[in-house]
């Protein structure tokens, strides 16, 4: 059990490497599990700031599995999420921000013990002067078509 806890903690560490700050804003319970004796299924709202784009904050809402397996980190969270990004100040794009068709990862959250994550990539559309963020879910074998997008003007 201790090994699983260490592994679960290690899988969540990469999140801090991408976004400067990830803060839980709040959550709602979507279903009561085990007569309220364990954590309920939830939708959790988190905020993160893009480390290379000053003046932009993004909010992601994700489904989280409750119950005993959710409490101990063994549950696989569904690939369901929403993403909204907003201008919170003067938008300044760092010279270090990647400008490519593959974008740059700015957020990552483990959604199962092994091989499934929610990621947010940033793309720069300098022709239209906007920053585009896309949330998507990874899966080990076949990937996932689930995604969400948000666009912030660079003014």
Helix (H) or strand (E) holding 109: strand 104-110
Please give the Cα distance from 58 to 105 (Å, whole number): 13
Q: What does each of the 155 residues of the chain score in pLDDT, given as a tens digit?
A: 444 343 344 444 444 345 557 899 998 887 776 666 666 778 889 999 999 999 999 999 988 877 656 555 656 666 778 999 999 999 999 999 988 899 999 988 876 656 677 889 999 999 999 999 999 888 755 666 788 899 999 97
**Distance between CA 144 and CA 79 in Å, rounded?**
8
pLDDT reported for residue 62 = 87
Q: Which of 49, 146, 60, 62 is nearest to 92 (CA)?
A: 49
User: Which neighbouring-strand residues pair with 42?
Assistant: 29, 64
């Amino acid at each position: 059990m201790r090994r699983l806890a260490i592994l679960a903690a290690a899988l969540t560490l990469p999140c801090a490497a991408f976004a400067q700050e990830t803060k839980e804003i709040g959550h709602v319970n979507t279903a009561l599990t085990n007569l309220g004796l364990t954590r309920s299924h939830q939708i959790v709202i988190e905020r993160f700031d893009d480390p290379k784009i000053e003046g932009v904050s993004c909010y992601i809402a994700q489904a989280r599995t409750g119950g005993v397996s959710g409490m101990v980190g063994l549950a696989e969270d569904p690939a369901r999420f929403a993403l909204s990004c907003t201008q919170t100040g003067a938008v300044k794009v760092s010279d270090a921000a990647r400008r490519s068709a593959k974008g740059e990862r700015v957020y990552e959250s483990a959604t199962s013990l092994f091989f499934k994550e929610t990621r947010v990539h940033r793309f720069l559309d300098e022709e239209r002067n906007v920053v585009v963020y896309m949330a998507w879910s990874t899966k080990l074998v076949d990937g996932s078509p689930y995604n969400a997008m948000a666009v912030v003007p660079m003014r």
